[in-house]
Chains A and B, each alone.
Chain A
Amino acid sequence: MNCIIVFLKEDPKMKIKNTDKLRYAFRAIVFKEMGDHFRNKRMLILFGIILLTCIGSLYTAISGLKNATPAEETESSFFFLKLFTLSDGTLPAYFVFISFLGPLLGIGLGFDTINSEQNKGTLSRMLAQPIPRDYVLNAKFTAALLVIAILFFSLSFLVIGAGLIALSIPPTAEEFMRIMCFTFVSVIYVALWLNLSVYFSVCFRQPTTAALAGIAVWLFFTVFAPLLINLILKTLEPSPYAPPYSQYAFQQFQFAIIQLIPNELYSQATSTLLMPTIRNLGPLTIEQIQGAIPGPLPLGQSILIVWPQLTGMIAVTMACFILSYLRFMRKEIRSR
Chain B
Amino acid sequence: MHTSIIEVSSLTKLYGNFTAVDSLSLSIEKGEVFGLLGPNGAGKSTTILMLMGLTEPTAGNIRVCGLDPVRNPIEIKRKVGYLPEDVGFYDDLTGLENLRYTARLNGIPELEANTKAHKLLYDVGLEEHINKKTGQYSRGMRQRLGLADVLIKDPEVIILDEPTLGIDPAGIREFLDLIIRLSKDEGITVVFSSHHLQQVQQVCDRVGIFSKGKMHLCSLSEKDINLDELYYRFFEGGPKNEN
Asked whether any CB of chain B lies closer than 8 Å to the CB of A32, the reply is: yes
CB–CB B149/A125 < 8 A: yes
The distance in angstroms between the C-alpha atoms of A132 and B104, with both chains bound, is 14
Q: Is B102's CB under 8 angstroms from A335's CB?
A: no
Give Cα distance in the complex from A121 to B82, angstroms: 13
Complex-state Cα separation, A127 to B102, whole angstroms: 11
Please list the 9 inter-chain residue pairs (A to B) with the smallest Cβ-Cβ separation, ordered nearest first.
A121-B88, A21-B107, A335-B84, A28-B104, A332-B55, A128-B82, A129-B105, A130-B77, A130-B78
Contacts of A131 in B (CB 8 A): 74, 77, 105
How far apart are A140's CB and chain B's nearest CB, in angstroms? 13
Q: Is A124 an interface residue (CB 8 A)?
A: yes
Q: Which residues in chain A, 10-29, are within 8 Å of chain B measured between CB atoms? A: 18, 20-22, 24-25, 28-29
Q: How far is the CB of A44 from chain B (nearest CB, A)?
A: 15
- Beta-carbon contact of B88 and A333 below 8 Å: no
Contact B107 A332 (CB under 8 A): no
CB-CB contacts below 8 Å: A127-147 with B: 127-132
> Are A124 and B84 in touch, CB under 8 angstroms?
yes
* Nearest CB of chain A from residue B150's CB, rounded to whole Å: 8
Can you spell out 10 A-B residue pairs with CB atoms less than 8 angstroms apart?
A120-B89, A121-B89, A122-B88, A124-B54, A125-B88, A126-B105, A129-B106, A333-B54, A333-B55, A335-B87
Whether, in the assembled complex, A336 has its beta carbon less than 8 Å from a beta carbon of chain B, the answer is yes
Q: Is A330 an interface residue (CB 8 A)?
A: yes
Q: Contacts of A130 on B, CB cut-off 8 Å?
A: 74-75, 77-78, 105-107, 153
Number of interface residues of A (CB under 8 A): 28
Q: Does B45 contact A (CB under 8 A)?
A: yes
Residues of B within 8 A of A128 (CB): 52, 54, 77, 80-82, 84
Q: A120-B90, A336-B86 are in contact. Are A25 and B81 (CB under 8 A)?
A: no
A166 vs chain B, min Cβ distance (A):
41
Which B residues from 18 to 55 make CB contacts under 8 A with A? 45, 49, 52, 54-55
Contacts known (A330-B56, A332-B54); A125 close to B87, Cβ less than 8 A: yes
A234 contacts B by Cβ under 8 Å: no
A334 at the interface (CB under 8 A from B): yes
A129 touches B45 (CB 8 A): no
Q: Tell whether, in the assembled complex, residue B105 and residue A28 are in contact, meaning their CB atoms are under 8 Å apart.
A: yes
Give per-residue flags for B103-118: 1 if the beta carbon is below 8 A from chain A beta carbons, else 0: 0111100000000000
- Pick the most buried of B87, B92, B101, B161: most chain A CB atoms within 10 A of its CB: B101
Bound complex: CA of A125 vs CA of B45, how far in Å? 14
A130→B154 CA distance, assembly (Å): 13
Say yes or no: A121 contacts B77, CB within 8 Å: no
CB-CB under 8 A from B68, the residues of chain A are: none
User: Restricting to A31-54, which residues have a CB under 8 Å from any CB of B?
Assistant: 32, 39
Residues of A within 8 A of B86 (CB): 121, 335-336
14 additional A-B pairs beyond A128-B84, A130-B74, A334-B54, beta carbons within 8 Å, are A21-B106, A25-B105, A25-B107, A28-B101, A29-B105, A120-B90, A121-B86, A122-B90, A125-B82, A125-B88, A130-B105, A332-B49, A335-B85, A335-B161
